[in-house]
Amino acid sequence: MTGPSTTHYDTVVIGGAALGSSVAYWLSENPDYDGSVLVIEPDPTYEHASTTLSEASVRHQFSNPVNIALSQFATEFIADFHERVQVDGESPDLGFRDTGYLFLATETGMPTLRQNHEVQRSCGVEVALLTPDNLLARFPYLNVDDLAGAGLGLRHEGNIDAYSLFRGFYRRARHNGVEYLADRVVDLRLSNGRVTTVGLDSGNVIGCNRIVNCAGPRARWVAEMARLPLPVEPRIRSVFVFDCREPLEGDPLPLTIDPSGLHVRTDPPQYMAGIPPADDCAVDPDDFRVRRADWEDRIWPLLIHRIPQFERIAVTHTWAGHYAYNTLDQNAVVGPADAVPNFYFANGFSGHGLQQSPGVGRAISELITYGEYRTLDLSDLGHDRIVHGEPFLERNII
């Protein structure tokens, strides 16, 4: 559409990628929500959104029951995706590949791995603790000399097509009457501690009853427009896709997290790897340069150490995207601001926002519609912990 159909909306969602479109989808699906929804998104191609640049993996192996529950809901959502988002009988293909996650541990890492394993089992996660011998039996291409064990997800972990997940939310939300406007939010006006209008790059001004901040790596600047603190910054993550001359024999390579911080997974018929940059700091949100030196100096040597066959590989393509990195605890910030109660956050997802988008979108829609969580209680992810500087810890961060 070229312009909004009216000058006032009940809910204005800022940013229309996975999180923004999920919020819009869930509101528009809920018969108890009878308001209007406008999503404002400056880039209708979504070319630079974290959503499009994601590695799009889903795992249940978190250390915190809240994060586990969010991913378990993602699994349910993926299973029913076609029915939930179809429009005229059609829906995008998520292409879920159930290849698992494999968390490798040295002797030093074993107590944490065991602790996480206990939490995961108590939450019903299908996960196994493997010895180095078990590892070799399943994945004979791994070097296990320096390993003491591993956690392997047995079901429901793997990867999906990120763009299809987003498109599912988007198409269905539009079909349900949600409006999308190509513009950028540049200003929020407050009156009596509430957001009343949203100022746009085009000069248009939209009145609202509430806003939802889904601006990804740029979320902090939207929060600042309402003078709210949000310790979220863009951090670069480079992805390297490569061919291996001799295919690995044994079970397909799960998304494997090495004790060094390297991760690598199968991306049939290729492989995909990444590592946080050595100088992991805030970057310009328009900086998408692939950190090629990381490949040469760090990733490839670590790959060869863990899988010696990876000495004979060729990188075929690369890209870089941004984590919306929450410097307090790398976990999501979800829910209203105490100081501005009609300002809702859905921010700071770092490297696990795609899989949390179905659950967080549903949770925000419940807060807006009923004033409380009805399914998953996400209070622990609330903004008050930011205000009080109290981290909500997750030990399994990638």
Ligand X SMILES: Cc1cc2nc3c(=O)[nH]c(=O)nc-3n(C[C@H](O)[C@H](O)[C@H](O)COP(=O)(O)OP(=O)(O)OC[C@H]3O[C@@H](n4cnc5c(N)ncnc54)[C@H](O)[C@@H]3O)c2cc1C
Q: Tell which residue, 260, 254, 300, 253, has the closest CA to residue 105.
A: 260
* Residue in 4, 9, 11, 19 binding ligand X, rule: CB under 6 A: 19
Q: Is 54 in the site for ligand X (CB under 6 A)?
A: yes
Q: Is 60 in the site for ligand X (CB under 6 A)?
A: no
Closer to ligand X by Cβ: residue 245 or 289: 289
Q: Record the tokens describing residue 147, joined without a space.
A: 């390993």
Residue type, 177: G
Interface stretch with ligand X, choices 48-56, 124-132, 168-176, 290-298 (CB under 6 A): 48-56
Backbone φ and ψ of 325, nearest 5°: -90, 115
Give residues with Cβ within 8 angstroms of 42, minimum separation 6.
182, 183, 184, 201
* Residue in 37, 55, 92, 97 binding ligand X, rule: CB under 6 A: 55
Interface stretch with ligand X, choices 62-70, 114-122, 214-222, 310-318 (CB under 6 A): 214-222
Q: Is 102 in the site for ligand X (CB under 6 A)?
A: no
User: DSSP strand E in the chain: where?
Assistant: 8-14, 37-40, 57-58, 101-105, 127-130, 149-153, 158-159, 179-181, 185-191, 194-200, 205-213, 232-244, 255-257, 263-267, 270-274, 313-326, 333-336, 343-347
Q: Is 66 in the site for ligand X (CB under 6 A)?
A: no
Q: Is 323 in the site for ligand X (CB under 6 A)?
A: yes
Closer to ligand X by Cβ: residue 217 or 359: 217
Closer to ligand X by Cβ: residue 157 or 366: 157
Cβ atoms of 341 and 368 within 8 Å: the answer is: no
- SS3 (DSSP) at 111: helix
Closer to ligand X by Cβ: residue 149 or 274: 274
Residue type, 144: V
Q: Is 51 in the site for ligand X (CB under 6 A)?
A: yes
Cβ atoms of 255 and 104 within 8 Å: the answer is: no
Number of residues that bind ligand X (CB under 6 A): 39
Q: Record the tokens describing residue 301, joined without a space.
A: 């040597």
How far apart (Å, rounded) are the C-alpha atoms in residues 250 and 228?
51
Closer to ligand X by Cβ: residue 149 or 321: 321
Site string for ligand X, 180-199 (x = CB under 6 A): ----xx--------------
Q: Is 50 in the site for ligand X (CB under 6 A)?
A: yes
Q: Is 129 in the site for ligand X (CB under 6 A)?
A: no
CB 210, min distance to ligand X, A: 16
Q: Is 43 in the site for ligand X (CB under 6 A)?
A: yes
Helices (H), 271-334: 292-294, 300-306
Q: Is 237 in the site for ligand X (CB under 6 A)?
A: yes
Closer to ligand X by Cβ: residue 143 or 164: 164
Q: Provide the binding-site residues for ligand X, judged by CB under 6 A.
A: 14-20, 40-43, 46, 49-51, 53-57, 184-185, 214-218, 222, 237, 239, 321-323, 349, 351-355
